[in-house]
Amino acid sequence: MKFEEIRYFSIQSGNPYFDMAKLLPNSKTLDECLEDVVSLETEDAYLNLNGNRFAISYKYDLSVFFDDLLEMVFLLKSKKAGQLQQFWPSNTFNVDWQLSWSEHNLDVSAIFDSVGSIETGAKINRQVFCISKNDFVAEWGEILRVVDDKVNRGDTQKLDCDQLGRLRTLIQTLEFRGRLYQNG
């Protein structure tokens, strides 16, 4: 596999509005929580890959794959080496991630389906690249921090304590901030 040089990879986490009062009584997981409490008209997160920006909706994308995101970051943090295929079936951020990592480096093959660049409207079918494992984790960690901060402002007693505990434990292990948040 030929790896493209990544000149720029970042995730802008945004500042989405969460209304925890809208948490439905039968919602137990963070995925369900996100779908319930994130406002329709709020900020998205943005993944920037070599100048191609992709919107990631907290309400419609993260609510579909938040648990998978937690698992992906957990595996990258806890295992020195490994492989993972992670498919995120959201309608607007439909990506098949194939990850292979060693202690410091991460090889990524990302197959984008039904995902268009915000700036160009172009479809990016496949990106294959190598990146520092810590940098990749740090970028996704910003989204985890936003979700934890927003959910923590409400009544979390209804939510799955194990999943919420796993999120908070994982955040405590994050050593680095995403590149847009290193000075904050």
Task: Answer whether 11's CB lies under 8 Å from 52's CB.
Answer: no
pLDDT digits (tens, 9 = 90+) for 134-181: 999 999 999 999 999 998 888 777 787 788 899 999 999 999 999 999
What is the C-alpha separation between 113 and 163, in angstroms, rounded? 28
Looking at the predicted structure, is the pLDDT value of residue 59 above 80?
yes
Statement: the pTM of the whole predicted model exceeds 0.85 = yes
Average pLDDT over residues 30-53: 89
Mean pLDDT of the chain: 86
Task: Answer whether 83's CB lies under 8 Å from 44's CB.
Answer: no
**For 46, phi and psi rounded to 5 degrees?**
-135, 125
Looking at the predicted structure, is the pLDDT value of residue 2 above 60?
no
Task: Answer whether 69's CB lies under 8 Å from 93's CB.
Answer: no
